[in-house]
């Protein structure tokens, strides 16, 4: 009984090691793919193409449309941060009197100064169709 138990333990150990090896390989491949697509998206954005054109080219090269949108969005976000723009959060009140923050709706603003940030925050909250904003309460620089 002891020998079969040891053989089972060895088999389990070998299975787990093979599984980890396989997962590490899959992770490395996924990271390589991610870097490849991110690089292509960055190249298209740097060439001056608009978002839809970048997305379309990524789709043509074999990336699913939603993934293409995500990669272009990531690159655009990096470009905005790299252009010396500061990050701002904001708070606003909806028509029911509830106070919302930019983090509640998953938005932050990138602007070069407080006035521009205020304008961008106003346009952002009025574009959000799921909430009826009443007024912008504050805009605060994060970084």
More confident residue, 121 or 79: 121
Q: Is the pLDDT of residue 1 over 60?
A: no
pLDDT score, position 69: 92
pLDDT score, position 56: 94
- Mean per-residue pLDDT for 11-16? 92
Report the chain's mean pLDDT, rounded to a whole number: 85
The 3-state secondary structure of the chain reads CHHHHHHHHHHHHHHHHHHHHHHHHHHHHHHHHHHHHHHHHHHHHHCCCCHHHHHHHHHHCCCCHHHHHHHHHHHHHHHHHHCCCEEEEEEEEECCCCEEECCCCCCCEEECCHHHHHHHHHHHHHHCCCCCEEEEEEEEECC
Q: Is the pLDDT of residue 75 over 60?
A: yes
**Would you say 68 and 74 are in contact if contact means Cβ atoms under 8 Å apart?**
no
- Mean per-residue pLDDT for 106-126? 85
pLDDT score, position 143: 67
| Separation CA 32–CA 24 (nearest Å) | 12
**Would you say 107 and 83 are in contact if contact means Cβ atoms under 8 Å apart?**
no
Confidence of residue 140 (pLDDT cuts 50, 70, 90): very high
**106 phi-psi bin (left φ>0, alpha ψ -120 to 50, beta other):** left
Q: Is the pLDDT of residue 66 over 90?
A: yes
Length of the chain measured in residues: 143
Paired tokens of 113:
């100064």
Please state the pTM of the whole predicted model. 0.50
Return all residues near 96 (Cβ < 8 A) that are at least 6 apart.
Answer: 132
- Mean per-residue pLDDT for 26-40? 87
């Amino acid at each position: 009984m002891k020998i079969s138990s040891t053989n089972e333990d060895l088999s389990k150990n070998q299975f787990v090691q093979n599984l980890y090896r396989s997962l590490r390989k899959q992770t490395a491949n996924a990271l390589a793919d991610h870097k490849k697509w991110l690089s292509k998206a960055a190249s298209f954005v740097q060439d001056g193409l608009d978002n839809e054109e970048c997305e379309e080219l990524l789709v043509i090269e074999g990336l699913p449309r939603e993934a293409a949108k995500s990669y272009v969005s990531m690159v655009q976000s990096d470009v905005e941060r790299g252009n010396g723009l500061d990050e701002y959060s904001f708070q606003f009140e909806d028509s029911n009197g509830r106070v919302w923050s930019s983090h509640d709706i998953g938005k932050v603003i990138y602007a070069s100064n407080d006035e521009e940030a205020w304008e961008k925050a106003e346009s952002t909250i009025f574009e959000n169709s799921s909430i009826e904003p009443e007024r912008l309460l504050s805009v605060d620089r994060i970084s």
